């Protein structure tokens, strides 16, 4: 018997949070939602965790049967805390020590993110990191692929302004420090690159 | 379009290859070496299969190519 999560009538991100929580305690759950956005978000969460999803629609209610698989991140205890996984790209390079090597690593890293099943829910680009998400960036296609896969992309507006790149943002949205601080502080996990 | 992975012995060789391909206008992308392939340096250059001759020509004798493999 599957554990039932009745998220009908609840506003996002509540259905997602309840789903994540239920998945950490149960290997098979059924989630009921009556909102298209909630349905998509729950489905995306399950997919991002490597779970299998069967979906059915009964009138205005979506029923998602989610089964943790062998590769399910929750089953491996990778993601255990509630709240989104937030990745902060705070530099145009990855790591400190050598900028040329850092450029190689950042390209390799962002491309890898598009290929593996563990995805962040949000990526914040700030300081010189915003240069990764603008037109002409060599990794813009990867950033776009993440956005297309449902990852929220936030680019620091102050930073884009400082570099004169506001008009060149190629993926995601121009964000402000309120959003950025809130996203960081409500993250389930914060990964700083 | 199928892709090829051009593998190198070192990160420095991959960086030099990037520079040479940029100069020649051959489209490419620096990517991590897929798990199914192996190379010493961890990064490789992905090119369109159609550009193989142009790419190999552009790299010429300036950079040693370890191998060219089809990408899964």
Secondary structure letter of residue A18 according to DSSP: H
- pLDDT of B36 strictly over 90: no
Averaged pLDDT score across all residues of chain A: 89
- pLDDT of A80 strictly over 80: no
- What are the tokens at A164? 């004169």
A138 lies within 8 A of chain B by CB: yes
Residue labelled with tokens 């509630």? A82
Buried b or exposed e, range A54-87, using 16+ CB within 10 angstroms: eeeeeeeebebebbbeeebbbbeeebeeebbbbb
CA distance readout (Å), B1 to A94, B21, B22: 30, 19, 20
Give the per-residue pLDDT at B37. Answer: 83
A37 lies within 8 A of chain B by CB: no
Read off the pLDDT band of A16 (50, 70, 90): confident
Q: What is the pTM of this model?
A: 0.64
Q: Which residue of B has its CA nearest to A111?
A: B31
**Does residue A177 lie within any of the structural domains?**
yes
Q: At what angle do helices A14-25 and A36-48 cross, to 10 degrees?
A: 40
Inter-residue contact A145 to A114 (CB < 8 Å):
yes
Same domain, A103 and A151: yes
- pLDDT of A73 strictly over 60: no
Q: Pick from A182, A125, A191: which is nearest to A158 by CA?
A: A125
Q: Total structural domains in chain A? A: 2
Q: What CATH number is given to the structural domain containing A167?
A: 3.40.1260.10
Dist CA A36 CA A142 (whole Å) = 27
B30 lies within 8 A of chain A by CB: yes
**What stretches of chain B adopt beta strand conformation (E)?**
3-8, 29-32, 43-48, 65-70
B32 lies within 8 A of chain A by CB: yes
Q: CB A169: neighbour CB atoms within 10 A?
A: 20
Give the per-residue pLDDT at A81. Answer: 57
Domain that holds residue A62: 3-67
B47-52 mean pLDDT: 96
A76-105 mean pLDDT: 84
Residues of B in contact with A138 (CB under 8 A): 29-30
- What is the interface pTM, i.e. ipTM, of the complex? 0.76
pLDDT in tens, A100-141: 999 999 999 999 999 888 899 999 999 999 999 999 999 999
Same domain, A92 and A167: yes
Which structural domains are found in chain B, ordered by start? Answer: 3-70 (3.30.70)
B41-59 mean pLDDT: 93
Read off the pLDDT band of B2 (50, 70, 90): very high
Same domain, A53 and A112: no
């Amino acid at each position: 018997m599957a554990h039932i999560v009745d998220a009908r009538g609840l506003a996002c991100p509540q259905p997602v949070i309840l789903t994540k929580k239920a998945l950490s305690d149960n290997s098979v759950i059924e989630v009921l939602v009556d909102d298209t956005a909630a349905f998509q978000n729950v489905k995306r969460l399950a997919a991002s965790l490597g779970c299998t999803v069967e979906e059915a629609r009964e009138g205005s209610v979506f029923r998602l049967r989610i089964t943790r698989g062998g590769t399910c991140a929750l089953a491996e205890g990778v993601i255990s805390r509630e709240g989104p996984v937030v990745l902060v790209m705070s530099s145009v390079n990855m790591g400190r020590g050598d900028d040329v090597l850092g450029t190689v690593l950042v390209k390799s890293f962002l491309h890898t993110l598009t290929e593996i099943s563990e995805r962040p829910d949000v990526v914040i680009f700030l300081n010189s990191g915003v240069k990764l998400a603008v037109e002409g960036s060599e990794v813009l296609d990867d950033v776009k692929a993440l956005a297309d896969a449902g990852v929220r992309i936030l680019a620091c507006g102050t930073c884009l302004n400082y570099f004169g790149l506001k008009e060149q943002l190629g993926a995601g949205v121009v964000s402000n420090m309120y959003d950025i601080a809130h996203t960081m502080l409500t993250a389930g996990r914060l990964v700083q690159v | 379009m199928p892709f090829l992975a051009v593998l190198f012995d070192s990160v420095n060789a991959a960086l030099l290859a990037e520079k040479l391909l940029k100069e020649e206008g051959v489209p490419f992308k620096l990517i991590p070496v897929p798990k199914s392939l192996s190379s010493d340096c961890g990064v490789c250059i992905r090119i369109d299969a159609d550009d193989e001759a142009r790419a190999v020509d552009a790299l010429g004798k300036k950079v040693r190519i370890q191998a060219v493999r089809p990408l899964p």
